[in-house]
């Protein structure tokens, strides 16, 4: 039987509620996912919402906490579910409070609706956990969840359907690198320019997922389907951005008629060359555009044409060691140079480059609590090399200025290591160690070899009371793995 591992990323705080809304889940273990769903807007219509990063919290008593997914930017409560004894089904009570409208003094309810948009009145709904892939999806594939204010039946504020949660680590391990180019069309259509940026993508059967096809919103994911004729078809109305008020920006295929009027198309096509692993726009007359909503009408914003994705073959490589700059204790600013080349002076793809900070040997977490202005919806442990928000990390080049909020005044050492991860393979630099009191630097060597060569040699299971289990049962267990280098990893899993 495959196990459903609850990877420890960061502990949540104690459960807190406000106006009946779960604003912070209780202590547990967070697992990161990419969430896919279909959502609805009165003007745009039904939109594909692909690979939004989110986290689910699992607690020791079998409770599961999932962030609200409908109007998620402004309605930020959590759904509470119960995991069954076999660890493969989560049951949620219907009509849970996920937000509060202070002007109306009414709660927001997330409820199951039928195809006519009416409340069903069912008592609960269930999601299934696939033990092989660890993905989570509704048992009822026709499940529709809608956001209502109080008992008002006149209409709902938003809707979500066909939701699927895929473990982020398993998706990231499949990513390929691409170079994306397109013609960026000016607003008045008179000053076209070729633009380029990096992109990531992967095939899951006949489904192609790609991030980086939108110059304005490079972190937005799009979803296409590979047809029998070798063409990848992307449907229009794919969500690329949500404002803080949940106003959507959707990517829509467009064309223009002889009079210069915009014609909205059902989708756009990219021809796939399987040998070269390249994708090229099929029709130069079909463009893609970011469309926002203004006064109940679609407004065309950025427009692109002649899209092309060129495959960029990657190889695992050893990153160079971090170089210390300074640490300013009063402002808690760490300056460090993180080179984007390997030890052979070859360029690394920075989309696959990360770094970790350690305080007195303990892994540091950039929390939202310590960094309220950090431009991330989640706490960050493994910081992307490309991340810069001018508050937590500034500098998009190799020189990073990192603010270590939350560090103790008594801290003695700060350490930094670089991580390069390609297709599940990992290489780690030597760890730079700065002694705050002495003002000296040193390196801990050999970490890369430990990670590269490590393999499990012995695995034992225990119950939560520490009793050894010779025949692992279902439910929450403790798994202890001993590796060939003598190190031991202990983790909680759901089986």
Span 238-257, mean pLDDT? 93
HEC string for 298-334: EEEEEEEEEEEEEEECCCCCCECCCEEEEEECCCCEE
Q: Confidence band (pLDDT; 50, 70, 90) for 481?
A: confident
**pLDDT value, residue 437:** 93
Span 216-245, mean pLDDT? 96
**pLDDT value, residue 432:** 96
pLDDT of residue 8 exceeding 50? no
**pLDDT value, residue 494:** 64
Helix H or strand E encompassing 168: helix 168-172
Structure token digits, residue 294: 């203004």
Strands 29-41 and 158-167 turn out to be: antiparallel
Question: Between these two residues, 129 and 293, which has the higher pLDDT value?
Answer: 129
Question: Between these two residues, 53 and 192, which has the higher pLDDT value?
Answer: 53
Q: Are 310 and 178 contacting, i.e. CB atoms less than 8 angstroms apart?
A: yes
Task: Return the biggest CA–CA distance within the chain.
Answer: 77
Q: Which residues of 181-210 are buried (b: 16+ CB within 10 A; e: fewer)?
A: bbbbbeeeeeeeeeeeebbbbbbeeeebbb
Q: Are 349 and 177 contacting, i.e. CB atoms less than 8 angstroms apart?
A: yes
Report the DSSP beta bridge partners of residue 366. Answer: 380
CA gap 27, 217 in Å, rounded: 34
Q: Are 129 and 4 contacting, i.e. CB atoms less than 8 angstroms apart?
A: yes
**pLDDT value, residue 10:** 40
**pLDDT value, residue 284:** 75
Residue whose C-alpha is closest to residue 410's, from 392, 385, 433, 436: 436
Question: Between these two residues, 332 and 9, which has the higher pLDDT value?
Answer: 332
Please write the tens of the pLDDT for every residue from 22-48: 999 998 888 999 999 999 888 888 999
Q: Across the beta sheet with 393-394, what order do the strands follow?
A: 323-328, 333-337, 399-403, 393-394
**pLDDT value, residue 153:** 83
**pLDDT value, residue 189:** 63
- What is the secondary structure of 349-375 as a DSSP string? -GGGEEEEEEETTEEP-B-TTT-TT-S
**pLDDT value, residue 293:** 85
Which residues, at least 6 apart from 491, have a Cβ–Cβ distance to it below 8 Å? 5, 6, 7, 8, 478, 479, 481
**pLDDT value, residue 441:** 96
Residue whose C-alpha is closest to residue 165's, from 35, 316, 347: 35
Residue percentage of the chain with pLDDT more than 90: 69
Question: Between these two residues, 249 and 475, which has the higher pLDDT value?
Answer: 249
**8-state DSSP, 447:** H
Rg (CA), the chain: 24
Helix H or strand E encompassing 197: strand 193-204
**pLDDT value, residue 472:** 59
Strands 262-264 and 144-149 turn out to be: unpaired
Strands 176-185 and 158-167 turn out to be: unpaired
Please write the tens of the pLDDT for every residue from 401-431: 999 999 999 999 999 999 999 988 999 999 9
Question: Between these two residues, 466 and 124, which has the higher pLDDT value?
Answer: 124
Please write the tens of the pLDDT for every residue from 168-197: 999 999 999 999 999 998 766 666 889 999
- Residue whose pair of structure tokens reads 């799009």 in the numeric block: 222
**pLDDT value, residue 2:** 39
Average of per-residue pLDDT values in the chain? 88
Q: Confidence band (pLDDT; 50, 70, 90) for 260?
A: confident
Residue whose C-alpha is closest to residue 304's, from 213, 378, 394: 213
Span 4-32, mean pLDDT? 69
């Amino acid at each position: 039987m495959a196990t459903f591992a609850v990877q420890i990323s960061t502990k949540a705080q104690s459960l807190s509620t406000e106006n009946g809304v779960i604003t912070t889940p209780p202590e547990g273990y967070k697992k990161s996912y990419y969430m896919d769903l279909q959502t609805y807007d009165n003007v745009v219509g039904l939109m594909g919402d692909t690979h939004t990063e989110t986290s689910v919290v699992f607690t020791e008593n079998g409770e599961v906490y999932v962030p609200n997914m409908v109007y998620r930017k402004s309605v930020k409560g959590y759904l509470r579910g119960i995991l069954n004894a076999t660890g493969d089904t989560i049951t949620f009570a219907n009509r849970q409070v996920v937000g509060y409208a202070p002007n109306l003094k009414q709660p927001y309810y997330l409820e199951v609706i039928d195809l006519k948009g009416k409340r069903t009145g069912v008592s609960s709904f269930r999601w299934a956990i696939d033990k092989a892939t660890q993905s989570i999806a509704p048992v009822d594939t026709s499940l529709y969840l809608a956001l209502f204010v109080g008992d008002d039946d006149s209409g709902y504020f938003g809707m979500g359907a066909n939701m699927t949660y895929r473990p982020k680590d398993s998706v990231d391990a499949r990513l390929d690198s691409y170079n994306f180019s397109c013609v960026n069309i000016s607003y008045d259509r008179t000053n076209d320019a070729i633009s380029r940026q990096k992109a990531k993508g992967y095939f899951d059967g006949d489904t192609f997922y790609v991030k980086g096809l939108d110059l304005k919103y490079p972190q937005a994911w799009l979803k296409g389907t590979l047809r029998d004729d070798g063409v990848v078809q992307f449907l229009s109305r794919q969500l690329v951005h949500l404002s803080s008020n949940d106003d959507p920006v959707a990517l829509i295929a467009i064309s223009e008629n002889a009079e210069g009027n915009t014609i909205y198309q059902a989708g756009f096509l990219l021809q796939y060359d399987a040998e070269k692993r390249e994708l090229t726009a099929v029709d130069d007359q079909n463009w893609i555009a970011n469309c926002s909503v203004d006064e109940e009408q679609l407004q065309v914003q950025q427009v692109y044409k002649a899209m092309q994705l060129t495959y960029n073959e990657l190889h695992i490589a050893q990153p160079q060691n971090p170089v210390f700059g300074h640490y300013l204790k009063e402002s808690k600013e760490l300056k460090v140079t993180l080179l984007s080349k390997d030890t052979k002076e070859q360029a690394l793809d920075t989309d696959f480059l990360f770094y970790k900070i350690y305080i007195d040997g303990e892994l540091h977490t950039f929390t939202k609590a310590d960094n309220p202005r950090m431009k991330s919806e989640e706490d960050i442990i493994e910081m992307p090399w490309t991340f810069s928000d001018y508050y937590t990390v500034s500098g998009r080049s190799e020189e990073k200025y990192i603010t270590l909020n939350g560090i103790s005044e008594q801290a003695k050492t700060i350490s930094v290591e670089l991580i390069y991860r390609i297709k599940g393979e990992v290489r780690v630099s030597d760890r730079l160690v700065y002694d705050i009191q002495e003002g000296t630097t040193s390196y801990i060597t050999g970490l890369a070899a430990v990670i590269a060569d490590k393999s499990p040699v012995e695995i034992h299971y225990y119950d939560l009371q520490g009793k050894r289990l010779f025949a692992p049962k279902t439910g929450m267990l403790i798994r202890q793995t001993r590796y060939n280098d003598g190190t031991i990893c202990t983790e909680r899993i759901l089986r």
